[in-house]
Chains A and B, each alone.
Chain A
């Protein structure tokens, strides 16, 4: 009866396993793909030419709306997965490692020294220190997480260069060079701080004029120097862990607005869209939307393949560990336990199905009644088909196949005096004896049948998995007496996914 119940259970498992392993999907191909991760840099920088009337420019509040609209537009596209709403600068700061913190300290120190030298009118030393600070900040991408530092560096550098220009001989090459450097510094200052201003009340006319010229150059060049550079986009995408990044900016004068949109693809390491358009301020929002639509449409029409770490097809799982078990059919009255080691290897031919082979090498300790006169050693090997379902962290599997067991010689008895004589058939006295028919003896033999395993795995980290399974088998060969049948066991294993 017990055998029939097990057989029915086994058949049900065999029938249900494929269905469990591979639930029907409408589009198997689509299920194996995943959306790209994307971030939209916010806030959108708005550069308003100092001479422009505030009322005529794109209002700050509308840029916030545009920023939200861009995010919503990306979010609506199922091929992309927008990363968290958390401000990106905070994400970047959180990922700042110790080395970056050290560099930041050095950069900050150089900037402070530069400012001090500038206040003491030691302009050359100031420029040296500020250029050092600027180089460090640029190299580490710290401008993106600490714009305040950027403003200090670029503003002081621009002012120092201007003073050097004023101190140089009129019309000399040195004067031209320092003026150019001052303009370049102002342009960088504007890039990081669109709202920075130099009023005629506070600064000399030359400073205000140079700063406004720098702003105008940005407008005339349609913001070519305001764009995010490829190296910067690469670093940001890596730090944020995204595959695509969207940057937008706007430059407004009294009568026109230039909107720019950059779409960086980390896979190709380049901007797939990098466009600016001169538009009327009222049309800015629509232009952004149009540019972003173009950018999204330019992307490959499908999702990316799933994360390689999540694909099982073609991969092999190998594991080894402890195996413990017992048999439902034994020549002993008390349960007979086995312990030992087990190994298992499965190779996935598809996401849900593959082949497996396993081995269990166990020894059976004597039963608690002492019916077994000697230890029985066994080796079980099984091979067949395996079915699995998994997500990123958990994996469930079921296997079915041929189970071959090699069972060592068995000597068992329930007779007291046979236990005393250690299985030797002889008379003890006139009324006591160990008789031959009181002992069950089986030579070492191989037996074969069907085996099943069901188990679960949990990802420990990297390619390492821990697994726990339960296994059983029903032996059919050889026909006739088999001392041990229907093993029931479990394994706790540590595995590696190749």
Chain B
């Protein structure tokens, strides 16, 4: 009869054959958004074996997208990455036309949420400038990750035009 540790070793080997360490998901700020915000953002993240990338969509708040329901009509869409994930965080670097937007995404590996800390382009969101402030993004389980920006271009609409 094989000794128990042989069986255990085999089971552990089997357990080691796990699925790839990948993360794919859509992350959004929870509504309602704070007053004074001009845009909402949505991140679609793809992470494979220590690298993360994806697309970032902006939603200009106004008549169509409101603070209570901000994710109806996308304004602009641009890709970022892939960048290395280190300590569950990676650098985010997106260009919407000529407008740069940079920051760092934390807590990626938790799966159900991520935190975005901006270093450049905070004015894009017209949010109060608080150094070190992080925007909490929650995974939207109802929305499947789509790698295409579709018809949405990467140019931002001048504020107030809508």
Contact = CB atoms under 8 A, between A and B. Distances in A.
A337 B17 contact: yes
A365 interface: yes
Contacts of A460: 1
A390 to B, nearest CB: 16
14 contacts: A337-B16, A365-B18, A366-B20, A368-B19, A369-B20, A370-B21, A371-B49, A420-B53, A429-B78, A429-B79, A429-B154, A432-B79, A466-B2, A492-B10
Nearest to B147: A420
B162 interface: no
Given A337-B13, A339-B17, A492-B7, 15 more contacts: A324-B13, A324-B17, A337-B16, A366-B20, A368-B19, A368-B21, A369-B21, A416-B82, A419-B46, A419-B48, A428-B79, A428-B147, A468-B2, A468-B6, A492-B6
A416 B7 CA distance: 37
Give the size category of A's interface with B.
20 to 34
Interface of B: 1-2, 6-7, 10, 13-14, 16-22, 46, 48-49, 51, 53-54, 78-79, 81-82, 147, 149, 154
B4 to A, nearest CB: 12
Nearest to B83: A416
> Chain A's interface: helix, strand, loop or mixed, by majority?
mixed
B10 A490 contact: yes
A490 B6 CA distance: 11
B93 to A, nearest CB: 12
B69 to A, nearest CB: 28
B49 A334 contact: yes
Nearest to A370: B20
Nearest to A413: B48
B18 A420 contact: no
A196 interface: no
The secondary-structure label for the interface of chain B is mixed
Given A416-B51, A429-B78, A429-B79, A365 B2 contact: no
A29 to B, nearest CB: 33
B20 A416 contact: no
Contacts of B82: 416-417
A458 B2 CA distance: 8
Contacts of B10: 322, 324, 490, 492
Given A365-B17, A429-B79, A370 B22 contact: yes
B19 A365 contact: yes
Contact of A368 (B6, B7, B20, B78): B20
A428 B78 CA distance: 10
B137 to A, nearest CB: 19
A370 B7 CA distance: 28
Contacts of A420: 46, 53-54, 147
B46 to A, nearest CB: 5
Interface string A367-396: 111111000000000000000000000000
Given A416-B81, A428-B79, A370 B49 contact: yes
A185 B100 CA distance: 120
A428 B82 CA distance: 12
A460 B1 CA distance: 6
Contacts of B18: 365, 368
A366 B21 CA distance: 10
